[in-house]
């Protein structure tokens, strides 16, 4: 039975499901889930990501994390963690760039939070020879100082959507209309997360991501207790407003309800909600990816690499630099949030 048929049977039996339940099934269903069944990244997949575009992205992030570790007194051992490491490219670049940082590799205990068995295998290959531990969830991270990076992870976590109607909130749900999956609205409800959202006018839609809150709470507890830093890179903004649920298949947008399990589903990240879930930490200003990478020296690094290239390889390198940083490409759409213990120096490339 296809995932669409399974979901329809479930809705017929027990009623409409939340957008979060729909998203969780589409992405994580043990047999039919989008991430469970494939490696979605790269030209032959459905989308590409910053670390797959250029090695410069991971190199600069590696050096920023290592500098932050030095700034906090180089505690060892410590956890180096990545959430949703995809093909392992970002971590491979981080590890290569930080080889020369005294004590960093000797002190780190590498933990990768990844649910997809397909991508776990790809990550092991990319990080061949590296001692690493795979975890299913963030709460399994060790109780130690923690330096953590998450690129395009939080956008894959299931969101709930609420519409403001006559001063009340009604949850958007997935039900059936004429036998097909269709969006609808449930009766009024009052989720605690929306108590502060009196800014939303009637008809406005707000998204909340309960799984992101749970994950941030676990991360913040470790960093507040033992030191460390979290670096979150994703598309989104400060304080979510509007319907940002989107489906992508073969590098093109598609209807989120059209082919459950076959398209990638994401939603913009509400960075304010992430910062609020880490009340014990100091949050950076939310910074565009292009600005962050420029401050870390991507132009100098790009020039150094360009010296060794010519022809099509040089053209591709120049295009990759532009794609990561230019405001019309990923430079402005993607944002960076840093979190450190209150009173600790902010991560390089970010300001408090």
Say whether residue 116 binds ligand SAH (CB under 6 A). Answer: yes
Q: Is the CB of residue 321 less than 8 Å from the CB of residue 305?
A: no
Other C-beta atoms closer than 10 Å to the C-beta of 17 total 18
Stretch that binds ligand SAH, among 145-153, 223-231, 295-303, 323-331 (CB under 6 A): 145-153
Binder of ligand SAH out of 156, 245, 275, 286 (CB under 6 A): 156
Nearer to ligand SAH, 20 or 119 (CB): 119
Q: Is the CB of residue 87 less than 8 Å from the CB of residue 126?
A: yes
Nearer to ligand SAH, 27 or 108 (CB): 27
Return the closest-CA partner of residue 156 out of 58, 263, 241.
263
Say whether residue 67 binds ligand SAH (CB under 6 A). Answer: no
Partners of 249 in the β-ladder: 252
CB of 20 to ligand SAH, least distance (A): 12
Binder of ligand SAH out of 49, 98, 287, 289 (CB under 6 A): 49
Residue 218 φ/ψ, nearest 5 degrees: -65, -45
- The whole-angstrom separation of Cα 64 and Cα 231 is 9
Stretch that binds ligand SAH, among 62-70, 147-155, 194-202, 253-261 (CB under 6 A): 147-155
Nearer to ligand SAH, 36 or 254 (CB): 36
Q: Is the CB of residue 53 less than 8 Å from the CB of residue 323?
A: yes
CB of 246 to ligand SAH, least distance (A): 14
Nearer to ligand SAH, 269 or 344 (CB): 269
Say whether residue 115 binds ligand SAH (CB under 6 A). Answer: yes
3-state secondary structure of 121: helix
3-state secondary structure of 271: helix
Residue 144, Cβ density class (10 Å: 0-12 exposed, 13-18 middle, ≥19 buried): middle
Binder of ligand SAH out of 33, 58, 62, 85 (CB under 6 A): 85
Say whether residue 114 binds ligand SAH (CB under 6 A). Answer: yes
Say whether residue 58 binds ligand SAH (CB under 6 A). Answer: no
CA distances from residue 3 to 28, 34, 155, 321 in whole angstroms, order as listed: 11, 10, 22, 39
CB of 75 to ligand SAH, least distance (A): 25
Binder of ligand SAH out of 25, 152, 234, 243 (CB under 6 A): 152
- The whole-angstrom separation of Cα 267 and Cα 150 is 15
The helices-and-strands tally (H runs, E runs) of the chain is: 14, 17
Say whether residue 25 binds ligand SAH (CB under 6 A). Answer: no
Q: Is the CB of residue 130 less than 8 Å from the CB of residue 63?
A: no
Nearer to ligand SAH, 48 or 254 (CB): 48
Nearer to ligand SAH, 90 or 350 (CB): 90
Q: Is the CB of residue 204 less than 8 Å from the CB of residue 166?
A: no
Name, in order, each residue with C-beta under 8 angstroms of 293's C-beta and a sequence gap of 6 or more. 56, 57, 60, 324, 325, 331, 349
Stretch that binds ligand SAH, among 148-156, 201-209, 277-285, 302-310 (CB under 6 A): 148-156
- The whole-angstrom separation of Cα 164 and Cα 158 is 20
Nearer to ligand SAH, 175 or 218 (CB): 218
Say whether residue 119 binds ligand SAH (CB under 6 A). Answer: yes
Residues that bind ligand SAH (CB under 6 A): 27, 35, 41, 49, 51-52, 84-86, 90, 113-116, 119, 151-153, 156-157
């Amino acid at each position: 039975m296809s995932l669409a048929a399974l979901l329809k049977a479930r809705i017929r039996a027990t009623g409409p499901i939340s957008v979060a339940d729909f998203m969780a099934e589409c992405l994580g269903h043990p047999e039919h889930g989008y991430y469970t069944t494939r490696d979605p990244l790269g030209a032959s997949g459905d989308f590409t990501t910053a670390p797959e575009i250029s090695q410069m992205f991971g190199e600069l992030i590696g050096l920023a994390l290592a500098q932050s570790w030095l700034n906090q007194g180089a505690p060892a051992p410590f956890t180096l963690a990545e959430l949703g490491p995809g093909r392992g490219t970002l971590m491979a670049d981080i590890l290569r760039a930080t080889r020369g940082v005294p004590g960093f590799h000797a002190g780190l205990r590498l933990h990768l939070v990844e649910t997809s068995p397909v991508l776990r295998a790809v990550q092991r290959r990319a990080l061949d020879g590296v001692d690493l531990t795979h975890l299913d969830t963030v709460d399994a991270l060790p109780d130690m100082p923690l330096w953590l990076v998450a690129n395009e992870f939080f956008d894959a976590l299931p969101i709930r959507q609420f519409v403001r109607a006559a001063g009340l909130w009604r949850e958007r749900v997935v039900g059936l209309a004429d036998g097909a999956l269709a969006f609808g609205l449930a009766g009024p409800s009052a989720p605690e997360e929306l108590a502060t959202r009196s800014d939303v006018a009637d008809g406005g839609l707000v998204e909340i991501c309960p799984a992101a809150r749970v994950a941030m709470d676990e991360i913040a507890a470790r960093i507040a207790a033992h030191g460390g830093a979290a670096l979150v890179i994703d598309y989104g903004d400060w304080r979510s407003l509007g319907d940002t649920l989107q489906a992508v298949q073969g590098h093109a947008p598609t209807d989120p309800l059209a082919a459950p399990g076959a398209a990638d589903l994401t939603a913009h990240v509400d960075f304010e909600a992430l910062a609020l879930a880490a009340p014990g930490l100091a949050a950076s200003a939310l910074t565009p990816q292009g600005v962050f990478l420029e401050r870390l020296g991507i132009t100098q690094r790009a020039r150094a690499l360009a010296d060794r290239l010519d022809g099509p390889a040089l053209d591709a390198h120049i295009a990759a630099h532009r794609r990561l940083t230019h405001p019309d490409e990923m430079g402005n759409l993607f944002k960076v949030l840093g979190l450190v213990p209150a009173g600790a120096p902010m991560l390089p490339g970010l300001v408090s």
